[in-house]
């Protein structure tokens, strides 16, 4: 892919209609016309669905005496660092904090910076209490882990950092604290006891992705346009981050998820990270995992079906479409709503393979998951400039199984499922009769949906499939001149 | 620097006059004429000096009952993994092993591969027992550490790997073991229970150096020309690795160093890694460190002055010149021979800054050092394509102080010494009278020596300075047309 062909859309920081829907679509944008890019970015004012039996009422919506206020004693896995970090300022203190924030020098956040405020503020990165200072940044970059005060180690594979430019640094001067402005201009947080240090982009990129090739989606979107300084400090989030896209009720914090697992009396929680539609092979795997956990003696294993809700590259299926597809999978009974929680993981994607899969797993520990399902080439993508996978597809699960700070997590490698033509359904691959199996990749699945062709019966529940077809039809309807795109 | 200008010399693997002296001088070779490059590579049949009061007779030379055979109970720091690895086949088993080795498929080593055989075989990388298999490689690359069987972690920041090409892989076929051929064609080692896996050079370089910019000396010399596969396995070294350059007696193994420290009844060992001549600022620092250790209550701190002896870039001062210079520093009494051991650290240089300094420190733990002196920008160099340091000069000591597996090592940050014009000697920099101090960088020092100009009196002992002047004069005499080069 030639970078010079890439069309870049930069979100104006003052955008009044801020939304998480894929507003930035530079990646693979060279395959798209400008208008298609725009169509993909439009904010859907009315989400395709707005209620769903799986929406877990949160404390804020329907207070439940037994779950609010104090943390219930739980047999769930301990959060990293021993206690879940919660950086959202209590309502009673909010007014004073906002007044303070308004008096401070300001740092303007991008929408992806705001996603990180959300992530860190709710404790997904526990025990991290803000954007990284240099000592945390260096440990993350070099060791994929942080040493905590008691000498133990927690996993931390992605640098969670906030970049500022020279002018902002100048403006901050000798101030110890700064206010953080959301993309719509609201002051959303305070960063306290700040430390400003150099942002060596090349080193950050090389050590995080294992390549500096141009075309990495997060790099192009976030790092290349960012300033040459990083600002670390302790975060105070002035109020819960909301996106007002009809999906906020699915954005359960680690605390809310733990409460829900306790309420359901889960004795094992197994997490499934995804950024793609769920087909019956995934469902087979998740159902089989539950069966295996029951065989191991667990009485009530609960599945956390946990689609990623932050930044994704332009050719990934948008969050609202994925959420509708997931809801159909549960409505159709492919997954059992009684033993499944669907929630949105608010993190942006790095597409950093073995480095990122550790983050995906670590964050789920904080949400209470003690089992993590890992597939082939997790968080991977094609090499941006060479015709190969960016990462060895097996490295993700190997690195995950050896990662410092993840020893307490049970890693469940993905069993390979494929379409068994003898029984017309997805089944675990049997190498003794390999010729009976059809492998339908994500690329092929999207190609089917884009062309309107049906996949083999039994590949995905029909109502879920319809959601995808409708999405790709809507793209084509808006872009009649655009050829169907077979994306990676 | 334009790569296309680089002149590369590749050492024929069958070279009969194998030597560690800088035989490969591609780096900065564009600044040199071909003949200068060659002059710099010539093997000096008679080293400038061949005996020295500091040469510690090894067991092989003058057996000492009390130190040979069994390891003396020692209060020295424990080697990583609890026991020092020694992979050199005992003499009695050598014949049978050589016969076995000759029957195996062969892998041809480069001279730098052989340096690694030396390093690993003597236990500098303990508990590593050979070239890394993939699980060790991935841990090193991602976490700069290895988890050992008891669950503890040892530091291991550089991948110690052996690359092979497609043809060699083909030739090995399904064999479980291979013989390793030294650059002169001798079978030097066996690699057992091998594992062959992909050599993703781009990822290795990016994660090790934090850049993929062209012009990194080790990358150009070792990785770029290497094959696309890595072969790991357990090493058996058929006999001690010797270089026959008059300096082998300085190449003390970790075991020999530990024996010497015990013999001297050291209760603290402080290591000073260097690849440059010793000036009086270094000496001040080392003498001051000893004083501080005495003040801390140690009775007999011993200095390990430990110049790196493996691959260095072309514009570094060659090992034999440095060793002669170091010997003058001791003869002149700038350092005290009674409390100093000079030995050669056989590792090649990566110039990988914060990643490599961990290796430099970890290897010295295995040799018995419990204090490690770290300077500004350790193992650093200029960025190969940009006008800046490749690494933040402070990152080395920061990363070292936080590195997993190095908790037991005491890190002693370098105090800044400079030339104090008020007393005409090197002294610790006093910021209250900054204008009295002259900073003489390595670059400036080499420029003085090359131009024949004397540095200020008191910068370096005169006999040591003469060694450097003689070396640069010899370069100029052999290259009359060559302009003096101010190298980085």
- The predicted structure's pLDDT at residue A10: 27
Q: Is B315 helix (H, G, I), strand (E, B) or coil?
A: coil
Q: How confident is the model at residue A486 (pLDDT cuts 50, 70, 90)?
A: very low
Is A147 in Cβ contact with B402 (below 8 Å)? yes
Q: Is B395 exposed, middle or buried (0-12, 13-18, 19+ CB in 10 A)?
A: buried
More confident site: B21 or B482 = B482
Q: How confident is the model at residue B248 (pLDDT cuts 50, 70, 90)?
A: very high
Q: Provide the pairing of β-strand A178-181 with A187-198.
A: antiparallel
Q: Is A100 helix (H, G, I), strand (E, B) or coil?
A: helix
> Which pLDDT tens digit goes with each residue over A379-408?
999 999 999 999 999 999 999 999 999 999
- The predicted structure's pLDDT at residue A37: 31
Mean pLDDT of the region B165-185? 97
Mean pLDDT of the region B407-433? 92
Tell me: pLDDT of B482 over 80: no
**Is B466 touching A (CB cutoff 8 A)?**
no
Is A210 in Cβ contact with B206 (below 8 Å)? yes
- The predicted structure's pLDDT at residue B479: 65
Q: Which of A211, A402, A404 sits opposite B203 (nearest CB)?
A: A211
* Closest residue in A to B208 (Cα–Cα): A207
Q: Could you give phi then psi for residue A329, rounded to 5 degrees?
A: -60, -35
Q: Which among A413, A85, A396 is positioned nearest to A258, based on CA atoms?
A: A85
Q: Name beta bridge partners: B154.
A: B146
Q: Which among A109, A110, A63, A50 is positioned nearest to A248, based on CA atoms?
A: A50
Q: Is B448 helix (H, G, I), strand (E, B) or coil?
A: helix
> Which pLDDT tens digit goes with each residue over B141-156?
999 999 999 999 999 9
Q: Are B138 and A398 in contact (CB under 8 A)?
A: yes
Tell me: pLDDT of A70 over 60: no
Interfacial A residues in 97-156 facing B (CB < 8 Å): 134-135, 138-139, 142-145, 147, 151, 153
- The predicted structure's pLDDT at residue B60: 34
**Is B206 touching A (CB cutoff 8 A)?**
yes
* Closest Cα in chain A, distance from residue B321 (Å): 34
State percent of chain B over pLDDT 90. Answer: 77
Mean pLDDT of the region A278-300? 95
- The predicted structure's pLDDT at residue B478: 77
Mean pLDDT of the region A250-266? 97
User: Token match 């299926």: residue?
Assistant: A317
Q: Is A247 helix (H, G, I), strand (E, B) or coil?
A: coil
Lowest mean pLDDT among B7-11, B262-266, B293-297: B7-11
Mean pLDDT of the region A11-33? 29
Is B142 in Cβ contact with A399 (below 8 Å)? yes
* Closest Cα in chain B, distance from residue A227 (Å): 17
Mean pLDDT of the region B13-40? 30
**Is B402 touching A (CB cutoff 8 A)?**
yes
Complete domains list, chain B, with CATH: 91-237 (3.10.400.10), 248-477 (3.40.50.620)
Is A354 in Cβ contact with B142 (below 8 Å)? yes
Is B144 in Cβ contact with A143 (below 8 Å)? yes
Q: Provide the pairing of β-strand A229-237 with A187-198.
A: antiparallel
Q: How confident is the model at residue A49 (pLDDT cuts 50, 70, 90)?
A: very low
Q: Could you give phi then psi for residue A164, rounded to 5 degrees?
A: -135, 160
Q: Name beta bridge partners: B340.
A: B303
Give how far the C-alpha of residue B314 lies from the chain's centroid of Cα atoms, to the nearest Å.
15
Mean pLDDT of the region A118-136? 98
Q: Provide the pairing of β-strand B425-428 with B417-420.
A: antiparallel
* Mutation to test the B interface, candidates A157, A158, A203, most B Cβ within 10 Å: A203
Q: Average pLDDT, whole number, for chain B?
A: 85
Interfacial A residues in 381-400 facing B (CB < 8 Å): 391-392, 395, 398-399
Chain B contact set for A153 (CB, 8 A): 404
* Closest residue in B to A205 (Cα–Cα): B210
Q: How confident is the model at residue A319 (pLDDT cuts 50, 70, 90)?
A: very high
**Is B485 touching A (CB cutoff 8 A)?**
no
| Helix pair B201-209, B353-366: axis angle to 10 deg | 80
Mean pLDDT of the region B219-242? 98
Is B212 in Cβ contact with A203 (below 8 Å)? no
Integer angstrom CA distances of residue A342 from A260, A322, A333, A467: 11, 11, 14, 17
b/e burial code for range A365-375 (CB count within 10 A of at least 16 → b):
bbbbbbbbbbb
The whole-angstrom separation of Cα B217 and Cα B311 is 9
Q: Are B191 and B107 in contact (CB under 8 A)?
A: yes
Lowest mean pLDDT among A402-411, B74-83, B270-279, B306-315: B74-83
Tell me: pLDDT of B103 over 50: yes
More confident site: B444 or B317 = B317
Cα atoms found within 13 Å of the Cα of residue A286, Cβ hemisphere only: 28
- The predicted structure's pLDDT at residue A74: 60
> Which are the contacts of B377, defined by CB distance < 8 A and separation ≥ 6?
B353, B389, B391, B393, B396
Vertex B197 angle, CA B195 and B201, to 5°: 140
Chain B contact set for A198 (CB, 8 A): 392
The whole-angstrom separation of Cα A301 and Cα A133 is 38
CB pairs under 8 A between A and B: 88
Mean pLDDT of the region A94-101? 97
Chain A contact set for B142 (CB, 8 A): 144, 157, 354-355, 399, 402-403
**Is B244 touching A (CB cutoff 8 A)?**
no
> Which pLDDT tens digit goes with each residue over B376-415?
899 999 999 999 999 999 999 999 999 999 999 999 988 8
Q: Average pLDDT, whole number, for chain A?
A: 85
Q: Which of A7-16, A99-108, B42-51 has the highest mean pLDDT?
A: A99-108
More confident site: A366 or A42 = A366
Is B402 in Cβ contact with A355 (below 8 Å)? no
Q: Are A104 and A189 in contact (CB under 8 A)?
A: no
* Closest residue in B to A158 (Cα–Cα): B142
Give how far the C-alpha of residue A30 lies from the chain's centroid of Cα atoms, to the nearest Å.
25
Cα atoms found within 13 Å of the Cα of residue A279, Cβ hemisphere only: 24
* Mutation to test the A interface, candidates B159, B210, B393, most A Cβ within 10 Å: B210
Q: Which of A145, A212, A399 sits opposite B206 (nearest CB)?
A: A212
Q: Could you give phi then psi for residue A67, rounded to 5 degrees?
A: -115, -15
- The predicted structure's pLDDT at residue B200: 98
Q: Which among B347, B335, B261 is positioned nearest to B308, based on CA atoms?
A: B347
- The predicted structure's pLDDT at residue A12: 27
- The predicted structure's pLDDT at residue A443: 75
Is A144 in Cβ contact with B142 (below 8 Å)? yes
* Closest Cα in chain A, distance from residue B2 (Å): 19
């Amino acid at each position: 892919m030639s970078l010079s062909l890439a069309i870049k859309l930069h979100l104006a920081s003052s955008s009044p209609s801020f939304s998480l829907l894929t507003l930035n679509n530079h990646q693979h944008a060279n395959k798209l016309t400008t208008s298609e890019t725009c169509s993909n970015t439009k904010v859907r004012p009315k989400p395709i669905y707005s209620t769903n039996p799986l929406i877990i009422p949160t404390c804020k919506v329907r207070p439940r005496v037994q779950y609010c206020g104090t943390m219930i004693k739980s047999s769930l896995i301990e959060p990293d660092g021993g206690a879940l970090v919660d950086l959202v300022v209590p309502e009673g203190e909010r007014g004073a904090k906002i007044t303070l924030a308004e008096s401070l020098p300001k740092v303007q956040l991008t929408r992806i910076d705001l996603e990180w405020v959300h992530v860190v503020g709710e404790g997904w990165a526990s025990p991290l209490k803000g954007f990284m200072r240099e000592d945390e940044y260096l440990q993350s970059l070099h060791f994929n882990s942080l040493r905590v005060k008691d000498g133990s180690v927690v996993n931390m594979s992605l640098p969670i950092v906030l970049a500022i430019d020279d002018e902002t640094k100048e403006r901050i001067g000798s101030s110890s604290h700064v206010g953080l402005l959301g993309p719509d201009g609201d002051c959303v947080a305070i960063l306290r006891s700040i430390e400003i240090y150099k942002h060596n982009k090349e080193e950050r990129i090389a050590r995080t992705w294992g390549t500096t090739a141009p075309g990495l989606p997060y790099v192009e979107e976030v790092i290349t346009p960012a300033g040459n300084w990083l600002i670390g400090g302790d975060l105070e989030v002035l109020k819960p981050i909301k996106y007002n896209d009809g999906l906020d009720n699915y954005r359960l914090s680690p605390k809310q998820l733990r409460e829900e697992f306790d309420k359901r009396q889960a004795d094992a929680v197994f997490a499934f990270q995804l950024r793609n539609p769920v087909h019956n092979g995934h469902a087979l795997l998740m159902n089989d995992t539950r069966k295996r956990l029951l065989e191991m003696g667990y009485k009530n294993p609960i599945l956390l079906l946990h689609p990623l809700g932050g930044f994704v590259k332009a050719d990934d299926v948008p969050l609202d479409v994925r959420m509708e597809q997931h809801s159909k999978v549960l409505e159709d009974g492919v997954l059992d709503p009684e033993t499944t929680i669907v929630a949105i993981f608010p993190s942006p994607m790095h597409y950093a393979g073995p480095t990122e899969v550790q983050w995906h797993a670590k964050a789920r520990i904080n949400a209470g998951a003690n089992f993590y399902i890992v597939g082939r080439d997790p968080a991977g993508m094609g090499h941006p400039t060479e015709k190969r996978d960016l990462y060895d597809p097996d490295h993700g699960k190997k690195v995950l199984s050896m990662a410092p700070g993840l020893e307490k997590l049970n890693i469940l490698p993905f069993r390979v499922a494929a379409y068994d033509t003898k029984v017309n359904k997805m089944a675990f691959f049997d190498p003794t009769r390999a010729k009976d199996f059809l492998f339908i990749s994500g690329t092929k699945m999207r190609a089917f949906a884009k062309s309107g062709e049906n996949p083999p019966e039994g590949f995905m529940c029909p109502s879920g499939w319809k959601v995808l077809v409708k999405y790709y039809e809507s793209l084509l309807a808006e872009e009649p001149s655009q050829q169907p795109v077979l994306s990676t």
